[in-house]
Structure 1
Amino acid sequence: MQRRRPPGTGRAQHLSPPPCAAAVVLLLLAAAAVSAADDAADAGAGAGAPVILDTVCAATQTPDPEAFDVSFVNTLEIIYQNVTRSGYGAAATGSGNNTVFGLGQCLAYLSPTDCQLCYAQSRVKLPHCLPSDGGRIFLDGCFLRYGAANFTAAATDADDTALCSNATAAPGFAAAAAELLLNVTAAAPGARDYYFAASAASQPPAYAAAQCWLSLNASACAACVESARDRVVSQCLPRADEGYGLNAGCVVRYSTRPFYLPANATGGGSSSRRIVIIVVASVLSAAAVIGIAFVWTKMRSRSRDDLHDDMDGSGEIIRAISASHLSFKYEQLREATDEFNQINKLGQGGYGSVYKGVLADGREVAVKRLFFNTRQWAEQFFNEVRLVSQVQHKNLVKLVGCSVEGPESLLVYEYLCNTSLDHYLFDAFKKNALDWERRFEIVLGTAEGLSYLHNASEVRIIHRDIKASNILLDERFRPKIADFGLARNFMEDQSHLSTGLAGTFGYMAPEYIVHGQLTEKADIYSYGVLVLEIITGRKNYNSVASSAEGLSLMALIWKHYNEGTLMELLDPNLQDQCSEEEALQVFHVGLLCAQASPNLRPPMWKVVEMLSSRDKAALPRPTQPPFIDVKGSNAKSDSSGSASLMSNSDKPPFSLNQLSVSAVQAR
């Protein structure tokens, strides 16, 4: 295998502070301080991205990258569902040369939330190994690996390594740490979940932990931790004050910091660790205040001509908005929402909360409240203003204006009284309001809105987060696409964008998850999933748990499609409201849009044509969608060549929420 040292794990800064409105610059500087404090807290506070310790990619490549990629995504999806449940998952999907084995595990000292975040980070980074036929990544708190051969019982291999810090250990620390490592590695094979951690009262104190993957047996675990311990002792001690032994089947670590969660902890770390984080954050905040004062002084002395030097164009947007009818005063919107009263809260998104407001002239509006906790969130605000102000279509939410002068930035949209599609579609009582006519209008109207974004607007736009909660409904239940915070635009001569992973798992196209290459085909895949949800009344992301067969929604629909029994999946609320021909047409279009191969998905203008046409026989036969090998823990193995090696844990899931991910990285 080839060891690839990834670039720095700090947050990429895509956004330069716009040297225009003073409040915006101050907010961005303050955000930078918060971001730096998050990085200082590291993964222990659960705020920053987990640190990547080591990445290893196989030297050999798969002979059929496209088929291998599909199996790769299916395998990682199974692992994700099990890591969410119990912190561990292993799986294998595909057949022959396209079989992909995978294993993921969080270390026992991570909280459930930090475990999910760590796995999400590893899932974003590991595809960089493709088209290699194997790869593994160690993060500070979790491990993820894939390969063409079954490696799950391997305790050690040629790629095992030690990672040592650059800081020198105090005299006497090495002996205490070595003895402590001997104790924890002796105890780990017989401990619960193969995990054991302890400390020694040396000066400075020593802390150590050892853990094996749950795929090993006790004897293999003992061999693994012994090998990792010997390597880290010989290579890191006595000089380094922290070290990791990273083996194929385990991790051994020592440190001068209490990196693991004490047995009686409930908040995610020791008091001394929290004190360090608070002190670092306080120092950085103080430095930020000095920096703010300095920049403010400099800004006052700059001429207006200098203000046109902003790199990303956001300053020009702010100035244009301030001088136009789109500009609202912060106090005006605060009063309109009754000081952002919780009674007026319409919903919570990934980048802020939305409140209903009534302006002084009686107009009802929806106010999106964005807090600049990081530079990335600031970028989302400017991106949404830039894009939404350039598009106008009956199936797109209209931007009324925004506010950039107060302590936070606000977006003002037209108010839609029926909120979002998910509030009706997945509610047993409210879904009665969505008869066949309204659902078909939502399917067609959303397609028309996406077709406009992809082909007819002045700028070519990919939304990146099409899902039921981002489809708003007016008083007649007509659909309008909302939330352009993750949207991207690109030039006509660009075939794709290479970008960090962002969106909602369950709606993200496989080629986007694997390669990060963004085209309008990613939106088309998300739309296909949405269509299938609309006609079945079932959520895609939790369909495994709710299905008696233990199948994902994609697998269930594909199974019934091949058996000619799709009508059995039609939402019972739609029975006798439409003809079989009409229902099958919508099923067919959804399957065409959700095909695994992006090249086979029809463009949105063609989707609109398919839905509007009466010639149902002209529709091509869809090919297999991705994720059909994702099964629930009670599902039986079939003869398709797919196998599931999942955890037996009967623990309840950590969370049933959809996990939205937005990772910023340079390519």
Structure 2
Amino acid sequence: MRYMDRNGFRVCDFGALLVILTCSCFLRTASGDPRTAAAGQFCGNSSSLSGSVFAINFVPAMDNLSSAVTSNGYGTAVIGQSPNAVFGLGQCMEDLNPTDCKLCFSEIRSLLPKCYPNTTGRLYLDGCFGRYANYSFFNDAIDSLDQSVCTTGNNSASPNDFGKALGAVIGNVTAEAIRSNKGYAVASASVANTSAYALAQCWQNLSQSLCSTCLNAAASSIVSCLPAVEGRALFAGCYMRYSTKLFWNVYPNGSSSSGTNNVVWIVVGTVLGVLFLIFVILASKKALLWRKAKALRDMYKAGIPAAISQSSLTFKYEDLRKASGNFSVSNKLGQGSYGTVYKAVHSDGKEVAVKRLFLNTRQWVDQFFNEVNLISQVRHKNLVKLLGCSVDGPESLLVYEYYANRSLDLFLFDANHEKNLGWEQRIDIVQGVAEGLSYLHEESETRIIHRDIKASNILLDDKFKPKITDFGLARAFSEEKTHLTTGVAGTLGYLAPEYVVHGHLTEKADVYSYGVLVLEVVTGKRCGGSIGSRAGHLLLSKVWNHYKNNTIEEIVDEGIYEESAKEDIMHVIQIGLLCTQANPGDRPTMAKVVELLRKRRHDWELILNDPPFFDVETAEDVNDADVSRLLSTSSAPNISRSSLSQFGGR
């Protein structure tokens, strides 16, 4: 069945569309395509008048924006005051479901900060958009950076027919998106045997009038891509894309909007519903799981590490599913970097921890292999032990030793104070984590940077000995390399300033995270909180100010503070502050930290400089020269043997 528009173009071919939709429903996993391919990134050429203040505002603005978009599919953020304020905007395309939106915008969160320290930046992915600036741009529909991006070297074999189809579909999708209350539409059109598909999306902050201005300009621009088979219009207030193939997500539940073809989708949805019922009657649940498992294996292809194929590391998916009570909420232990962790009890009574992974893109599969490869290479008393994994089911699973006391954060931040750790237990935990990191950095065959050291990633065994876990974000690099340049990943508040700003990754990033963790252990206060990543800097600021004023007892966890332990507590706090120095060169290695912790007699002199973000509450009210620089250029601390204990804060 074909419908014609008033110009004689076939707007939709039911037969072809039905085949496309049916295939897409049965071959996709539960998630669609987050479309994380980059369409364009534009960074400004100007820097802030007060770089340090802009830096202080930048991180919480990105943090708040990411939280808003992953929760609602759209968000804005404003932190600070002009001219050093940071305005942020982000949005996912309307056809992305919440999971795919989260996956897509995590890429934005990782890549957009590469524009820093420039005061403006915008990033278009095919599934989402992110932008920041030091001024309000929320009413910008068009600007000087607007442009069309066309594929090169791949043109339509029927340029005349394709041109007519494209003209029709661009007109239809533009008109429908303007009429839509969400500023979104998708459409298709055909001439002869040539089809064109198009998607249009305005950002939600624009009024209908501004949306119309943007989309009409984008429509006029994008047709210049002809006869290329694919084109995109990247505008300040909207995004438009066309292709010869259907590229947006169509979910079995019909959650995707379809602009001009609402009636078409209703009919198709009805037909698909009938087909689905027939499929359920004819196919067994096992066959469905087999399809999903095959799709996952196809994604793995030849990439499964050799270690996984060893029988001692291989678990059956069905056994783990049953052992965890079908991944019951009551057995949930926590959330990892890219998966949920459950307690599972085997038939022989052995308890294990099972991480159920989110793997619907190649990137996440790579992180799965990364964790398996890295942790299977290391053996240390303070690192969690990998027992194996499962890759034979519809989901990938990692299996670890189970620790009854779970994670450190449950003890440090227990609001009811039902769980408490004594000072000796805390110093043992700090020491054990330091030894584990020292092993990763210097003693293992492969140099490994963990990248996500935090309280919830420190597990405690039945004797409260620490075990570092969650290697999904870890990175290995060879001896000859001094650093890696990579997208920012980890937990805000624990991230080293040079890593947040420049993506410059060394072992000193782990040292910084460790220092923040040490201060959490001593104070019993969270690094992050409801006010975003600024909370982590606020904790560091408070500890530093109490240290300088010699009032450290006012911030130490009252459950552990005793006058007799004051010197030991002060020593550990000084090590925590030393690890969080602004300049990475001022921070010690983890081997040096282990050495300092073992020498309780204070026979070392530590000269500390201001940590980064040390005055976050009042930074905008003082001169730039008075604000601690994000990347300090001060000299390294003097760590030298001395007969007396001398500690000074500059």
TM over 0.5: same fold? yes
Listed one character per residue, the Cα deviations across residues 12-71 of structure 1 (whole Å, up to 9, x for unaligned) are xxxxxxxxxxxxxxxxxxxxxxxx979x979x9654244433222335678999997676
For the pair 1:355 / 2:355, whether they are aligned, the reply is no
Q: Which amino acid aligns with 1:555?
A: L
Structure 1 contact 75–92 (Cα < 8 Å) conserved:
yes
Structure 1 position 558, deviation (Å): 0.4
Name the structure 2 match of 1:589: 575
Shift of 1:72: 4.5
Q: Identify the residue that residue 456 of structure 1 maps to in structure 2.
A: 443
Structure 2 contact 65–75 (Cα < 8 Å) conserved: yes
Q: Is contact 2:86-2:135 (8 Å) kept?
A: yes
> What is the CA–CA distance in structure 2 between the aligned matches of 1:253 and 1:346, rounded to whole Å?
42
In the TM superposition, what whole-angstrom CA distance separates every residue of 1:128-173 from its partner, at most 9, and x where no partner exists? 4456554322234543334567766655432122457977768588
Match among 508, 519, 529 for residue 495 of structure 2:
508
2:13 maps to none
Establish whether residue 53 from structure 1 lines up as the match of residue 39 from structure 2.
yes
C-alpha distance in 1 between matches for 2:147 and 2:92? 18
Between the aligned partners of 1:312 and 1:421, the Cα distance in structure 2 is 34
* 8 Å contact from structure 1 (residues 540, 553) kept in 2: yes
TM-score normalised by length of structure 1: 0.65
Aligned to 1:104: 89
The aligned residue for residue 562 of structure 1 is: 545
CA-based RMSD of the aligned residues comes to 5.4
**Alignment match of 2:305 (pick from 299, 309, 314):** 314
Q: Deviations over 1:223-273 (max 9, x none)?
A: 67525523523652897999765433x1164879897999xx994556977
Secondary structure at the aligned position of 2:509 is classed as: helix
In 1, distance between residues paired with 2:422 and 2:54?
41
- Once the two structures are TM-superposed, the CA of residue 566 in structure 1 deviates from its matched residue by 4.9
The answer to whether 1:470 aligns with 2:452 is no
The amino acid across from 1:139 in the alignment is L
Deviation of 1:506 (Å): 4.0
State how far apart, in whole Å, the 2-side matches of 1:376 and 1:573 are.
Answer: 44
Q: Is the 8 A contact 1:423 1:430 kept in 2?
A: no
Separation in structure 2 between the aligned mates of residue 258 and residue 417 of structure 1, nearest angstrom: 47
Q: Write the distance in 2 (CA, Å) between the matches of 1:197 and 1:385.
A: 41
Residue 618 of structure 1: SS of its match in structure 2?
Answer: strand
Q: Which residue of 2 aligns with 1:88?
A: 75
| Aligned residue in 1 for 2:536 | 553
Structure 1 residue 621: deviation in Å? 1.8
Q: Report how far residue 582 of structure 1 moved.
A: 4.0
Q: CA deviation at 1:531?
A: 2.3
1:122 and 2:90 correspond: no
For 1:398 and 1:196, the matched residues in 2 are separated by 50
Q: Give 3-state SS (helix, strand or coil) of 2:106's partner.
A: helix
Q: Given the alignment, which residue of 137, 140, 148 partners 2:123?
A: 137
1:535 has 2:522 as partner: yes
Is contact 1:74-1:93 (8 Å) kept?
no
Structure 2 CA distance for aligned equivalents of residues 641 and 150 of structure 1:
24
Structure 1 residues 180 and 292 mapped into 2: Cα distance closer, same or farther (>3 Å)? Answer: closer
Contact 1:591 1:625 in 2 (8 A): no
Of 476, 494, 501, which aligns to 1:489? 476
Distance 1:238 1:389, change over 3 A: closer
CA distance in 2: counterparts of 1:475 and 1:573, whole angstroms: 21
8 Å contact kept, 2:315–2:390:
yes
The 2-side partners of 1:200 and 1:182 are apart by 11
Structure 1 residues 462-471 or 535-544, which shifts more?
535-544
- Cα–Cα, structure 1 residues 499 and 639, in superposed 2: closer, same or farther, change >3 Å? closer
SS of the equivalent of 1:504 reads coil
Give how far 1:94 is off: 9.7
Matched length? 556
Residues of 2 paired with 1:373 and 1:116: CA distance? 12
1:366 and 1:578, CA in 2 relative to 1: closer, same or farther beyond 3 A?
A: farther
Structure 1 pair 578–486 and aligned structure 2 pair: CA distance change class (3 A): farther
Letter in 2 for 1:251: C
- Cα 1:126–1:544, aligned 2, differ >3 Å: closer, same or farther? closer
Check if 1:601 corresponds to 2:587: yes
Q: CA deviation at 1:376?
A: 4.6
| CA–CA separation in structure 1 for the residues paired with 2:379 and 2:48 | 45
Shift of 1:389: 3.7
Output one character per residue of 1:593-634: Cα deviation in whole Å (capped at 9) or x when no partner.
2344332322112222333333288233243335975x8xxx
Q: CA deviation at 1:553?
A: 3.2
Distance 2:358 2:60 in 1: 35
Which piece of structure 1 moves more, 491-500 or 383-392?
383-392
Instruction: For 1:103, give the aligned amino acid.
Output: G
> How big is each residue's C-alpha offset from its partner over 1:193-241, in whole Å with a ceiling of 9 and x where there is no partner?
xx54579999899988664574x8x7xx856752552352365289799
Task: Indicate the SS of the match to 1:533.
Answer: helix
Q: 1:524 aligns with which of 496, 507, 511?
A: 511
2:633 corresponds to: none
Tell me what 2:17 maps to.
none
Aligned counterparts of 1:273 and 1:578: Cα–Cα separation in 2: 74
Which residue is 1:639 aligned to? 621
Residue 434 of structure 2: which of 439, 442, 447 is its match? 447
Report the CA distance between 1:124 and its aligned residue: 1.7
Unaligned runs of 5+ in 2: 1-22, 280-286, 625-650
Q: 1:528 to 1:46 in 2, by over 3 A?
A: farther
Report if aligned partners of 2:493, 2:534 keep a CA contact under 8 Å in 1: no
Question: Counterpart of 1:552 in 2: which secondary structure?
Answer: helix
Cα separation, 2, equivalents of 1:399 and 1:199: 46
Distance 1:151 1:184, change over 3 A: closer
Q: Could you tell me how far apart the structure 2 residues matched to 1:292 and 1:222 are?
A: 48
Work out whether 1:247 is the aligned partner of 2:235.
Answer: yes
Give the Cα–Cα distance (whole angstroms) in 2 for the partners of residues 126 and 251 of structure 1.
18
Displacement of 1:524 in angstroms is 1.7
What is the CA–CA distance in structure 1 between the aligned matches of 2:43 and 2:184, rounded to whole Å? 30
Alignment of 1:10-89 (within 5 A): 47-58=33-44, 72-73=58-59, 75-81=61-67, 83=69, 87-89=74-76
C-alpha separation in 2, matches of 1:598 and 1:129: 21
Partner SS, residue 41 of structure 2: strand
Q: In 2, distance between residues paired with 1:108 and 1:335?
A: 34
In structure 2, do the counterparts of structure 1 residues 387 and 239 end up closer, same or farther at CA, with 3 Å as the change threshold?
A: closer
CA distance in 2, matches of 1:198, 1:382: 38
Q: 2:527–2:539: 8 Å Cα contact kept in structure 1?
A: no
1:339-375 deviations in Å (ceiling 9; x for gaps):
7674655445324544343574x76544556686555
Classify 1:331/1:431 alpha carbon distance in 2 versus 1 (closer, same or farther; 3 Å).
Answer: same
CA distance in 1, matches of 2:461, 2:575: 25
Query: How many angstroms does 1:177 deviate by?
Result: 5.4
Asked if 2 retains the 8 angstrom alpha-carbon contact of 1:207 and 1:255, the reply is yes
Residue 544 of structure 1 corresponds to 531
Q: Which has the higher contact order (CA 8 A, sep 6+)?
A: 1
Q: Do 2:90 and 2:131's aligned partners in 1 also have CA atoms closer than 8 Å?
A: no
**Secondary structure in structure 1 of the residue aligned to 2:621:** coil
Matched residue, 1:423: 410
Distance 1:377 1:577, change over 3 A: farther
Report 1:342-421 matches (<5 A).
342=328, 346-349=333-336, 350-351=338-339, 353-357=341-345, 360=348, 364-368=351-355, 373=360, 375-400=362-387, 411-421=398-408
Q: Distance in 2 between matches of 1:162 and 1:448?
A: 53
Q: Deviations over 1:625-656 (max 9, x none)?
A: 35975x8xxxx9951479xxxxxxxxxxxxxx
